[in-house]
Structure 1
């Protein structure tokens, strides 16, 4: 008797199914909107509590289901081309061999103690996510750490965890993140970065949980590679061979190229924090990095151009995933059901006891992050509702901010409408493989979040 193993649908199929669900929702969910006004404390446009009202239904048609793919790709064009330029520029760096030489040198220095790099880099990236609100800035590190993880005998999921899971934990459990904690506290009329001691404990707990989860998986697949979720996958240029790397010499030219990469990434971090740079400026920086790395390797302009196009070809799938993901939001935005969903989720909280309402806020904020994947955007939309609601329930506003912070942050590497498709694209990891790896851990994260929410209610977190 044979048993059939259920096959997970292709990523495109999963995302298109969500677009279809959104279209169906446009017929079932009543259309509605909140009024919005400029908040004097934060300077942002926020929702005006108590102003939700019905508007004319705007259901999407069968044809709109397919148009959403095109509209989503156009709406996310800055992100789509950013993915192309980041990966193609790093592809040039990879093809120079400088990164291979550096990793070979690193492996020789550590001599079997490579695993120490996992906790060290995870705590560093988590600190950046907490203090500076670092997130998109880490995209350039992903190919480097995926290659490093593979060379150390792990897989791309370990490399992704060292960068993206770590920075997401720091971002979500932040004690100083200006884009989430800062905006939410301003909208809620709380002192900036108040409650920091409690948040530092929260940060350390969640980052440590992520480090332990990554280490357990890394050790498991190092011992038995057949247990890797990515077993049999071709990682292309990111797949680095340990034995070949050990033999590579780390030349002066390699060092110059890598110092150039470090300089560009340093400039990137400075530009984002100090100058407010975003995708346009970052894409330009990565192109400069790739082109000049090619020249430093002794290549001519034509070879640089050909190599750049090879990199673009490698990442077409991932770039298209970004556009398809955005199509889900396009359908919900045009059918005016996002505010209706937020209002419907917030209303039941007012009838709950305060301990349960706090947990309910956490669940609501986690679900809302699917529809509003921007941290500051979610704060501006939900906190004007949640802050006064917390007053009515006898929950401190600081606790409401914590619920927002958790709900917005941890699901950033769960929902397909967030930056997750970009991260998976750059790492060359199918999103369904990431879910298989991350979803069990997300269950533990939810439990830990619920415990901290209960503690916040019990101590009247201020």
Structure 2
């Protein structure tokens, strides 16, 4: 008698590539359903803005099958600066790790703080939050992720703790934007508000966001400290980087923090400091960050007496280790390529914001916030979103009877919060690539904190509407 064994179906979370490609496919289908349209643009003081009430339908340009797959190549090309930034940071960081400087430095810090991991997480997250609230760090946050990973590894935690400490600490400050001259500055300029006005409420928002971030990260760290099996990363707490990172740690954990290692670490810190100064005073961006990293790598190779051949070999190993994450960035960009080529982004904005004119004040203000949360899934650039949304929001909030400062706050909160999970964010995907964490793993961790941040946003908008949140 033959017996058959039925295989039990077990759900397996799709890979990030499959999830993002599905989003690209859905965006392509949307180009057949959503009418094409566009606002007129004008350039004022070097800033391109949407002209309110200028929306008009345009000739449809739906995405065909070839366009769908071509968008991936175009997305890779358009994201080339971030993709190569990831490769180069991965390579240079591997060179630094080969000297043992990062691990030895972190181990020395842990010894001085007597292993108080909660204190370390709180301090580091708070520092990055303050930097981001002043418009500093910006894309340089990607370069600091290896420090967070090394800290988490030395504390016997996981890569998610390392990324959360740096990245979420940074975003808590960026969302509040207390003295942010870029995103906040552009939004307030378009709204014709005094620069940095409305600061007291943004300080309160920052305190709320950073407190939630630190508490949430510490609770997770405490959970996996006592029971490593509860880590979202499973039995590989540092993901694809596990093997190399473990071997690196073993090479340094029984050594002292040598003069060479101190010099290497000081060179790293000094290079990042130079970039932050250049970004703040000279408008440096990703290209300059790559240049600084390459120069730093050469200087460190000289200090640590790494031969040219070994330098190249180690660099390539580091770049290879994060190929997966680098390519995800380009694939995610394909979503934007499809939406832009299909000319439906402006249609989405017009359809979503138009009906808000007849809404009650409180509901209208909250829907403005929700709209920006969702629109940020499509346009993750803060300045890009400000240029599209703010010119339309200004007359809208005037008609609703909401202050322009409240409208700017709704934009700032909406622009930043969903950035911590959206796969279309090049910075997020770069951070995850450098940290060795899969997007699906990260979403499991970050989604609850995003919901808590949304609640802070709703409360803040409600307060702003009821108090007539003004310019000062």
TM-score by length of 2: 0.94
SS at match of 2:60: coil
Name stretches of at least 5 consecutive residues in structure 2 with no aligned partner: 1-5
- Are 2:454 and 1:449 equivalent residues in the alignment? no
In the TM superposition, residue 247 of structure 1 has moved relative to its aligned partner by 2.1
CA distance in 2, matches of 1:238, 1:333: 41
Q: Contact conserved, 2:224 with 2:231, CA < 8 A, in 1? A: yes
Q: Contact (CA 8 Å) 2:103, 2:249: kept in 1 or not?
A: no
- Corresponding residue of 2:124: 121
Distance in 1 between the 2:182 and 2:36 partners?
A: 29
Q: Take 1:430 and 1:232, find their aligned partners in 2: how far apart are those partners?
A: 14
Bigger drift between 227-236 and 29-38 goes to 227-236
> Would you say the 8 A contact 2:129–2:171 is kept in 1?
yes
Determine the C-alpha separation between the residues in 2 that align with 1:125 and 1:32.
40
Q: Is the 8 A contact 2:100 2:248 kept in 1?
A: no
Aligned to 2:33: 28
Residue in structure 2 matched with residue 171 of structure 1 by the alignment: 174
Shift of 1:4: 4.5
Q: Work out whether 1:56 is the aligned partner of 2:63.
A: no
Matched, 1:208 2:216: no
After superposition, give the CA deviation of every residue in 1:251-292 in whole Å (9 maximum; x if it has no partner).
Answer: 111111111111101111111111111111110111111222
Q: Given the alignment of the two structures, is residue 196 of structure 1 paired with residue 199 of structure 2, yes or no?
A: yes
Q: Deviations over 1:7-43 (max 9, x none)?
A: 1101110111011011101101100000011235xx4
Are 2:59 and 1:95 equivalent residues in the alignment? no
* Distance (Å, rounded) in 2 between the aligned partners of 1:369 and 1:63: 27
Q: Is the 8 A contact 2:37 2:343 kept in 1?
A: yes
User: Are 2:293 and 1:290 equivalent residues in the alignment?
Assistant: no
Which has the larger displacement, 236-245 or 410-419? 236-245
Structure 2 distance, partners of 1:9, 1:373, is 23
Measure the CA separation in 1 of the matches of 2:73 and 2:319: 20
Q: Which one of 443, 458, 461 corresponds to residue 466 of structure 2? A: 458
- Kept after mapping to 2: 8 A contact 1:137/1:272: no
**TM-score, normalised via structure 1 length:** 0.96
Please state if 1:305 is matched with 2:308. no
Which one of 166, 185, 190 corresponds to residue 187 of structure 1?
190
What is the rounded CA distance, in whole Å, between the counterparts of 1:132 and 1:240 in structure 2? 37
Q: Cα 1:360–1:383, aligned 2, differ >3 Å: closer, same or farther?
A: same
Q: Secondary structure at the match of 1:178?
A: coil
* Aligned counterpart in structure 2 of residue 7 of structure 1, from 7, 12, 17: 12
Aligned-pair CA distance for 1:2: 9.0
Shift of 1:3: 6.7
1-structure distance, mates of 2:245, 2:390: 42
Give the C-alpha shift of residue 412 in structure 1. Answer: 1.6
CA contact (8 A) 2:135 2:177 kept: no
**Aligned counterparts of 2:322 and 2:114: Cα–Cα separation in 1:** 33
Matches within 5 A, 1:142-181: 142-181=145-184
Say if 1:229 and 1:437, in contact at 8 Å, map to a contact too.
yes
Mapped partners of 1:145, 1:407: distance in 2: 26
Write the distance in 1 (CA, Å) between the matches of 2:141 and 2:247. 21
The residue that corresponds to 2:414 in the other structure is 407
Q: Whole-Å Cα distance in 1 between the matches of residues 168 and 77 of structure 2?
A: 28
CA distance in 2, matches of 1:3, 1:226: 25
SS of 2:182 mapped into structure 1: helix
Measured in 2, the distance between the counterparts of 1:294 and 1:242 equals 19
Quote the Cα distance in structure 2 between the aligned partners of 1:93 and 1:112: 24
Counterpart Cα distance in 1 of 2:206 and 2:287:
31
Query: Residues 353 and 53 (structure 1 numbering): CA distance in 2 closer, same or farther, change over 3 Å?
Result: same
Give the whole-Å Cα distance in 1 for the aligned partners of 2:348 and 2:247. 46
Distance 1:224 1:3 in 2: 29
Aligned twin of 2:24 = 19
Contact 2:75 2:330 survives alignment (8 Å): yes
Residue 423 of structure 1 is matched in structure 2 by 431
Separation of aligned partners in 2, 1:175 and 1:238 = 37
Q: Which residue of 2 aligns with 1:111?
A: 114
Contact 1:358/1:395, CA 8 A, preserved across alignment: yes
- Residue 244 (structure 1) shift: 6.7
Structure 1 unaligned regions, length at least 5 = none
Q: Are the aligned partners of 1:257 and 1:296 in contact in 2 as well (CA < 8 Å)?
A: yes
SS of 2:179 mapped into structure 1 = coil
Aligned-residue offset at 1:112: 2.7
| Partner Cα distance (1:241, 1:226) in 2 | 23
Report how far residue 246 of structure 1 moved. 4.4
Cα distance between partner residues in 2 of 1:163 and 1:441: 15
SS where residue 247 of structure 1 aligns?
A: coil
Aligned length: 460
